[in-house]
């Protein structure tokens, strides 16, 4: 670390200029002002080095500036930068074929390419309405699906996202997410996932939302912004059965959890369940903006002109995504699974030393550490979590909060043990200090 107090002088100046001219609505976390990054390390404009456990909200999947991704981008910039979706180009088809090849469906897949997570959700919403001829949906408390009027209608993790923006798209009924650490629905037999699915069928369908009007159920396999919440194992098989029974499309929002982050291409594969539609973005382009909505061929049947965009299929983003998928398949998915296990084991030891850690959970490199006032009451320790985030930043580690009192660990998928150890060391020191 170069500056003794952070942000350093150059960073301070950028932040001052930023607040004068950029929208005040951006959430912002720590006062990190990026200069450059390599792998799982980043440097700020004052020359301070940080380990990156956040990877730009789980975006820099192959690490910062992976040489092969940079090379693919540079190569494409020499040919052309844009042509629009009114025409065709090969690398767009290459990417769609590649994505279709890793889709977790028994039947062939079709792909719509966009520029962000929220657009991949909007596409899924429209497709589900079109395909089923139904208008209604089910979403989950704690969910985050984006900030445009359709995806925002499902987002239910914090009131700030909705306050002042109502009414949103109509037709979304929210139900509890099966969070085993914080069950909302009492479940005597402990099969909490099935309890939630029973609630949908026996209460929601029976009392407010006729099943035959329900087009789709939109769900994150592991809730991201809502707290890195892993559902109980019985949930997805039961949800799939419910969808089959009533002809409802199961839409898996893999914007944060997909593209190898959990050690599988798609997080829902951890439960052996096949969705009907997958939404992807974030890690797909290693930092270049790209989204994808992937559906079973029999589902993505809509007429020419029904849905499109100007920038979708941008050749530079496609080039970055193609190389990203190769790297993840050949080098990083296995690493994500192994480093995830390694990190969870290390965190179990850290948890044993700190009573304010209520819960540690995750799959692959999508790991949440939830802080509580005490383990009996499980009252969320919101301020302590924020303090830990800031202390970590002051000592050279970037982490992001999520949920009420959780810290997320979502580093690049090629991070090694040495950097994980160093990062966890900084994190534990921050936890220790926050407990005094
Ligand atoms: N879905 C999930 C699960 C997300 O985590 C996010 C973003 O954090 C989105 C959708 C929205 O993505 P974007 O910010 O690219 O619109």
- CA-CA distance, 111 to 93, in Å (whole number)? 10
Q: Residue 116 Cα, ligand 1 centroid: separation in angstroms?
A: 8
Alpha carbon of 4 to ligand 1 centroid (Å): 35
Asked if residue 264 is part of any domain, the answer here is yes
- The residue whose CA is least distant from atom 12 of ligand 1 is 117
| Pair 136, 200 in one domain | yes
In a domain, 3, yes or no: no
| Reported confidence tier of residue 3, pLDDT bands at 50, 70, 90 | low
Centre of ligand 1 from the C-alpha of residue 261, in Å: 15
Residue 273: the pLDDT is 98
CA-proximal residue: ligand 1, atom 1 (nearest): 145
| Residue 362 pLDDT class (50, 70, 90 cuts) | very high
Whether 379 has a pLDDT exceeding 70, the answer reads yes
Q: Are residues 126 and 216 in the same domain?
A: yes
Residues 131 and 54 in one domain: no
Let me know whether 57 and 90 are in one domain: no
Check which CATH number belongs to the domain holding 347 and give it.
Answer: 3.90.1150.10
Choice from 25, 116, 118 to test ligand 1 binding pocket (greatest atom count within 8 A of CB): 118
Residues 303 and 393 placed together within one structural domain of the fold: no
φ, ψ (nearest 5 deg) of residue 365: -100, 45
The residue out of 311, 328, 345 marking a domain boundary is 328
Q: Is the pLDDT of residue 8 over 60?
A: yes
Is 4 within the bounds of a domain? no
Q: Which atom of ligand 1 is nearest to the CA of 289?
A: 15
| Mean pLDDT within 184-210 | 92
In testing the pocket of ligand 1, which one of 54, 255, 278, 289 has its CB within 8 Å of the most ligand atoms? Answer: 255
- pLDDT, one tens digit per residue, over 242-267 is 999 999 999 999 999 999 999 999 99
pLDDT of residue 5: 83
d(CA 94, CA 92): 5
Q: Is the CB of 57 inside a 6 Å radius of any atom of ligand 1?
A: yes
Which pLDDT does position 2 carry in this prediction? 58
Strand partners, 136: 214
Q: Which domain holds residue 258?
A: 68-328
Same domain, 35 and 161: no
Nearest CA to ligand 1 atom 13: 117
Inter-residue contact 92 to 318 (CB < 8 Å)? yes
Going from the Cα of 54 to the center of ligand 1, the distance in angstroms, rounded, reads 14
pLDDT of residue 270: 98
336's enclosing H/E stretch is helix 333-353
State the Rg of the chain over Cα: 21
Q: What is the pLDDT of residues 143-161, one digit of tens each?
A: 999 999 999 999 999 999 9
Give the pLDDT confidence of 327-359 residue by residue, as tens digits. 999 999 999 999 999 999 999 999 999 999 999
Q: Among 26, 115, 117, say which to mutate for ligand 1: greatest number of ligand atoms within 8 Å of CB.
A: 117
The domain boundary, picked from 328, 352, 381, lies at 328
Alpha helices, H only, 144-219:
149-154, 192-199, 205-207
pLDDT at 375 over 70: yes
Q: Whose CA is nearest to atom 10 of ligand 1?
A: 145
In a domain, 1, yes or no: no
**What DSSP letter does each residue of 291-327 carry, written as one string?**
EEEEEETTT----TTSS--SSTT-HHHHHHHHHHHHH
Q: How many angstroms separate the most distant Cα atoms in the chain?
A: 62
In what side-by-side order are the strands of the sheet with 34-38?
Answer: 34-38, 41-44, 49-52, 397-398
Task: Please check whether residues 60 and 72 belong to one and the same domain.
Answer: no
pLDDT confidence of residue 193? 95
Please indicate whether residue 145, judged by its CB atom, sits closer than 6 Å to ligand 1: yes
Claim to verify: residue 34 and residue 149 sit in the same structural domain: no
Mean pLDDT, residues 4-23: 94
Ligand 1, atom nearest to 119 Cα:
16
Distance in angstroms (rounded) separating the CA atoms of residues 378 and 26: 30
Work out the percent of the chain whose per-residue pLDDT is above 90.
96
Q: Is 412 in the pocket of ligand 1 (CB under 6 A)?
A: no
Q: Which of 122, 218, 281 most suits a substitution to test ligand 1, by most atoms within 8 Å of the C-beta?
A: 281
Distance, CA of 337 to CA of 363 (rounded, Å): 8
What pLDDT shows up at residue 190?
A: 73
Q: Cα–Cα distances in Å, from 98 out to 93, 117, 220, 270?
A: 8, 19, 23, 21
- State yes or no: pLDDT of 1 exceeds 60: no
- Once rounded to an integer, what is the mean pLDDT over residues 413-424? 98
Rounded to the nearest angstrom, the distance between the alpha carbon of 291 and the centre of ligand 1 is 10
Structural domain includes residue 242: yes
Grade residue 187 by pLDDT with cuts at 50, 70 and 90: confident
DSSP E strands, 23-153: 34-38, 41-44, 49-52, 109-114, 136-140
Q: Identify the CATH number of the domain in which residue 314 sits.
A: 3.40.640.10
In a shared domain, residues 308 and 367:
no
Q: Please report whether residue 299 resides in a domain.
A: yes
pLDDT > 70 in the chain, percent? 99
Domain boundary among 328, 344, 372: 328
- Sheet of 366-371, strand order: 357-363, 366-371, 406-409, 400-402
Whether the CB of 146 sits within 6 Å of ligand 1: yes
Q: Which pLDDT belongs to residue 29?
A: 86
Of residues 189 and 94, more confidently modeled: 94
Assigned domain for 2 exists:
no
Q: Say yes or no: 193 and 312 in one domain.
A: yes
Contact 394, 6 (CB under 8 A): yes
For the chain, the straight-line distance linking the first and the last C-alpha, in angstroms and rounded, comes to 24
Tell me, yes or no, whether 125 and 254 share the same domain.
yes
What letter would DSSP give residue 200? I
DSSP 64: B
pTM: 0.98
Q: How many domains does the chain have?
A: 2
Check if 117 has its Cβ closer than 6 Å to any atom of ligand 1.
yes
Per-residue pLDDT tens digits for 269-289: 999 999 999 999 999 999 999
Confirm or reject: Cβ of 276 under 6 Å from ligand 1: no
Phi and psi of 389, rounded to 5°? -60, -45
Residue carrying the six token digits 């500036």: 65
Residues contacting residue 309 through CB under 8 Å, at least 6 positions apart: 85, 114, 115, 119
Distance (angstroms) between ligand 1 centre and the Cα of 377 equals: 31
Residues 46 and 82 in one domain: no
* Model confidence at 233: pLDDT above 70: yes
171 is a domain residue: yes
Confidence of residue 121 (pLDDT cuts 50, 70, 90): very high
Query: Under a CB-based contact definition with an 8 Å cutoff, are residues 142 and 223 in contact?
Result: yes
Q: Is the CB of 254 under 6 A from ligand 1?
A: no
Best residue among 25, 142, 282 to mutate for probing ligand 1, ranked by most atoms within 8 Å of CB = 282
What is the rounded CA–CA span in Å between residue 181 and residue 382?
16
């Amino acid at each position: 670390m170069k500056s003794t107090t952070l942000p350093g002088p150059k960073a301070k100046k950028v932040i001052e200029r930023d607040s004068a001219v950029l929208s005040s609505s951006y959430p912002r976390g720590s006062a990190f002002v990026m200069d450059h990054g390599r792998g799982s390390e980043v440097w700020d404009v004052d020359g301070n080095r940080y380990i990156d456990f956040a990877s730009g909200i789980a975006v820099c999947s192959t690490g910062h500036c992976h040489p092969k991704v940079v090379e693919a981008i540079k190569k494409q910039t020499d040919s052309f930068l844009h042509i629009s979706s009114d025409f065709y180009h090969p690398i767009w088809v290459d990417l769609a074929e590649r994505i279709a090849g890793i889709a977790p469906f028994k039947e062939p897949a079709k792909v719509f390419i966009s520029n962000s997570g929220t657009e991949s959700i909007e596409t899924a919403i429209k497709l589900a309405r079109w395909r089923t001829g139904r208008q209604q949906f089910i979403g989950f408390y704690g969910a985050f699906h984006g900030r445009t009027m359709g995806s925002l209608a499902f987002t239910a993790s914090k009131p700030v996202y909705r306050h002042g923006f109502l009414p949103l798209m109509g037709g979304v009924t929210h139900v509890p997410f099966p969070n085993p650490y914080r069950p909302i629905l009492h479940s005597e037999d402990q099969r909490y996932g099935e309890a939630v699915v029973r609630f949908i069928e026996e209460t929601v369908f029976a009392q407010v939302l006729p099943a035959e009007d329900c087009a789709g159920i939109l769900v994150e396999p592991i809730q991201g912004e809502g707290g890195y919440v892993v559902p109980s194992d019985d949930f997805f098989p039961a949800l799939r059965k419910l969808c089959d029974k009533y002809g409802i499309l199961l839409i898996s929002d893999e914007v944060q959890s997909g593209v190898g982050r959990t050690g599988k291409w798609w997080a829902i594969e951890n439960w052996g369940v096949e969705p009907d539609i997958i939404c992807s973005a974030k890690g797909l382009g290693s930092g270049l903006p790209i989204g994808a909505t992937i559906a079973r061929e029999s589902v993505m049947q809509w007429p020419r002109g029904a849905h499109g965009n100007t920038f979708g299929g941008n050749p530079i983003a496609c080039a970055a995504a193609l190389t990203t998928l190769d790297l993840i398949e050949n080098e990083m998915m296995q690493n994500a699974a192994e480093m995830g296990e390694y990190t969870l084991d290390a965190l179990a030891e850290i948890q044993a030393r700190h009573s304010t850690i209520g819960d540690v959970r995750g799959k692959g490199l999508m790991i949440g550490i939830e802080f509580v006032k005490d383990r009996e009451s499980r009252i969320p320790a919101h301020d302590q979590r924020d303090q830990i985030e800031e202390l970590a930043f002051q000592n050279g580690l970037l982490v992001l909060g999520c949920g009420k009192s959780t810290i997320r660990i979502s580093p690049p998928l090629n991070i090694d043990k040495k950097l994980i150890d160093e990062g966890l060391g900084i994190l534990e020191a921050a936890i220790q200090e926050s407990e005094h």
